[in-house]
Structure 1
C-alpha cells in the first residue's frame, strides 16, 4: 500500500515508506497512513493529526501522557510491553507542546487512553493494540459512547479504578488483554457510571481470552445485556465475575458466561457503601435475568463473606431478584462455604443442572 511522505513533527513521522527506507509514493488524500511516534514524541499529537483509517504506531519507550481519541476508524498500536503509557509528571497534561482542551480532559479525569464520543455521535471502530497502560488514578483504557471498539493485546496494570472500561457503548471487543492490580475491576462494562437507568443492550460485546488477576473484581458487567464473557483466566481477585443488576428496566442479563477458568479469587476487599466485603467469590449474579453460566471451571474460591463461594445467586443491593438464569455443566470444586449457592430463593425460574460439585446451598444441586 502506498504511503504519503511527510516531515517529522514533534517526534512523529508520518511515513511508513520512509521508516522502511523505501521511496515515498504519492497517494490520494484518503489513503490510510502510518504515523510513527518515536521516543520523546507525542502520541496525542499523532492522534490529532490522524484521519479515519490511519494507524498511529508507537515505538518502544515510556510516554508520560494521556491520549484522547475522537477520530473513528483509528488504530493505536504499540509494541506490547515495550510501549508504556504512564501519567505525566506534575499536573495532569499530555507531552505535546500545545495540548488541547479535549486531551487535557482525559488526563484530568485520571485516565490513560480515552475513546470518547457523544450520545448523538459515537466514535466507531477504534482499535487499540499491543501496549501497556499503567499507574493512572482512574482507568487505563476508558471508553464512552463508542461502537465497535476493539482492545487487544493491551496490559492495564495498577490503575486506581478500572483497567479497561466501557460505558454507553456497543459491540466492544476485548480479547487477549492482561488486567492486573487495578483498584476495582480489571475489565468493566456498564450502561453508565454517572446515572441510574435500565440495562444497555451492548449488541454483542465480547470479553474473550483475557488474563485478569489481582484486581478487586475480575470482570464486572453492570446494568448491561447481550454480553459474552468466555475463555478468560480470572485468578487472585476478590471476585472473578460479578453481574450487577437493579430494579430498572430492562433488567441486566441475557448474557453468556462460559468456558472461563475462575481460580482462587481469595483476595479480601472491604465493604463499600453499596456492597458487602468480598472474598472468595467465583461468579456472582445479582439482579440478573436469562443469563447462561455454563462450562466454567470454578475452583478453590474461599472466603467468609456473604458473597463467598463458587457460583452464587444473590439479591442486588436494592433487592432486585434473579430470574430465569441457567447454571449448567460447570466444574465447581473446592469453593467455600459452598460450590453452588442460591441465596436468592425468592427469585423465579433459576435452574442448576449437571454441575459437577461437592457442596451446595440448598443441598442437592450437585450432579457429582
Structure 2
C-alpha cells in the first residue's frame, strides 16, 4: 500500500502526556489507530497492519480484491455505498501480499468478498464490517467462519452468486441494518457447518435485525442452529422470506424466535435444488424445527404453487424430521396462498397456533 494514515485517539494521547509517562513506560491501554485506504491502494495490506482494536477506513472508490480478517477486534469500515468491493481481475489477483496471504488467497479462490476467519480451535473475536458495498462475488459477499461477536452493519450485499452475508460455526453474531438484494441463494445465511453433518449449534444469541432483504432466492436462512433471533426485518420480493431448517442430527434445530418481521410478496419463482423443491410464495417456513416462536410478524400476499407456499408454513423436513413444540402466535396475516397458516405435519407434537389475525388456514381451524 502506498501510504497508511494513522489517527491516534486524542484523549488517549492527552492522558498519556498528562500522566508524565516516559517513552520507556508501558501505558495502561495501547493506542488504537485508524489506517486509511485510498482508491488504488490495498485494503488487505492495511488489514495486515492492523492490531486488535484498530480501524481500517476505506475511502470511496472501487476496490477489486478479496479481504481476509483474522485479527480480533478489527473494524473494517467504508464510507457507505460509495466504497465498493468487487472481485479482483486476473491482473490484480494476489496483489496484496502480507502476513495473511495464504488466507487471502483462500478467500478469493473460494469466491468470497470479505472473509472473517478464526481457526478450528479458536474463534476470532469482535470483528466489525460496516458501511460499504460488496458485489459480484461467485460465493458470498461477506463470510464469517469461527467468529465470536462478529458485527455486520450497514453493508450492501448485492448480486453475489450464493449468499449476501453468511456465517458458519459462529456465536454472538449481530447482523443489522444491511441491504441484501439479488443474491443467488439467501440474503442472510447462517448455519452450524456447511460441509458436514452435525447437530444444531447454540449461537449464544446471534441477532439478525433491521435488515432489508429483497429479490434473493430466500431472505433469511437459518440452518441447524439454536438460540438466535430474526427480528424486525423487511423481507420482500424473494422466492421465500424466512427458512428455519433442521435435520435428523442432535441436538435438533430450533429454540429460537422469528418476531416482528414484515414479510410480504415473496413471490419470485425459483427452481428446485438438491435440498429443496421449487419454491414460490413462501413467507415463513419451519421444517424439522422445535421450540421456535413465530410471533408478531406481518405476513402478507405470499402466494404460489410450491408445496412450501403460504404465509406461515410448518413442513416436515425432507429427511423426515417433524416440527415439534413450535408456537405461532400474534401474527397478522392476509392474502397468502394457498392459506395464511399452513400445517402439513401429521406426526408433529405440540405445535400451537393462537391469537393470529388471519382468514384462511390449511387445515381449517388454525386461525
Partner of 2:280: 279
Deviations, residues 101-149 of structure 1 (Å, cap 9, x unaligned): 2211110010000000112111000011100000000000000000000
Residue 203 (structure 2) pairs with residue 211 (structure 1): no
For the residues of structure 1 that align with 2:65 and 2:156, how far apart are their CA atoms? 16
Partner of 1:13: 5
How big is the shift at 1:93? Answer: 2.5
Q: Secondary structure at the match of 1:35?
A: strand
Deviations, residues 219-247 of structure 1 (Å, cap 9, x unaligned): 00000000100000000000000000011
Partner of 2:141: 140
Q: What RMSD in Å do the two structures reach over aligned CA positions? A: 1.7
For the residues of structure 2 that align with 1:94 and 1:206, how far apart are their CA atoms? 34
TM-score by length of 2: 0.93
Partner of 1:87: 87
- Kindly report structure 1 stretches of 4+ aligned residues shifted beyond 3 Å: 15-18, 25-29
Partner of 2:13: none
Partner of 1:129: 130
Aligned pair count reads 352
How big is the shift at 1:59? Answer: 0.4
Deviations, residues 22-56 of structure 1 (Å, cap 9, x unaligned): xxx99969211000001111000000000000000
Partner of 1:188: 189
Deviations, residues 65-114 of structure 1 (Å, cap 9, x unaligned): 00000000000010110100000112782542668122111100100000
Structure 2 contact 9–31 (Cα < 8 Å) conserved = no
Structure 1 residues 16 and 324 mapped into 2: Cα distance closer, same or farther (>3 Å)?
Answer: same
Residue 56 (structure 2) pairs with residue 64 (structure 1): no
Partner of 1:21: none
Structure 2 contact 206–227 (Cα < 8 Å) conserved = yes
Deviations, residues 246-298 of structure 1 (Å, cap 9, x unaligned): 11100000001000000000000101122111000000000000000010000
For the residues of structure 1 that align with 2:349 and 2:123, how far apart are their CA atoms? 37
For the residues of structure 2 that align with 1:179 and 1:92, how far apart are their CA atoms? 26
Structure 2 runs not aligned, ≥5 long: 11-16, 18-22
Structure 2 contact 9–33 (Cα < 8 Å) conserved = no
Equivalent runs, 1:1-368 vs 2, <5 Å: 9-15=1-7, 30-90=30-90, 93-96=93-96, 100-366=101-367
Q: Secondary structure at the match of 2:311?
A: strand
For the residues of structure 1 that align with 2:83 and 2:92, how far apart are their CA atoms? 20
For the residues of structure 1 that align with 2:91 and 2:139, how far apart are their CA atoms? 15
Deviations, residues 193-236 of structure 1 (Å, cap 9, x unaligned): 00011000000000000000000000000000001000000000
Structure 1 contact 64–94 (Cα < 8 Å) conserved = no
For the residues of structure 2 that align with 1:344 and 1:229, how far apart are their CA atoms? 23
Q: Secondary structure at the match of 1:133?
A: strand
Structure 1 residues 66 and 94 mapped into 2: Cα distance closer, same or farther (>3 Å)?
Answer: farther
For the residues of structure 1 that align with 2:214 and 2:67, how far apart are their CA atoms? 25
How big is the shift at 1:17? Answer: 8.3
Structure 1 residues 97 and 145 mapped into 2: Cα distance closer, same or farther (>3 Å)?
Answer: closer
Deviations, residues 133-182 of structure 1 (Å, cap 9, x unaligned): 00000000000000000010011000010000001010000000000000
For the residues of structure 2 that align with 1:284 and 1:357, how far apart are their CA atoms? 17
For the residues of structure 2 that align with 1:269 and 1:210, how far apart are their CA atoms? 22
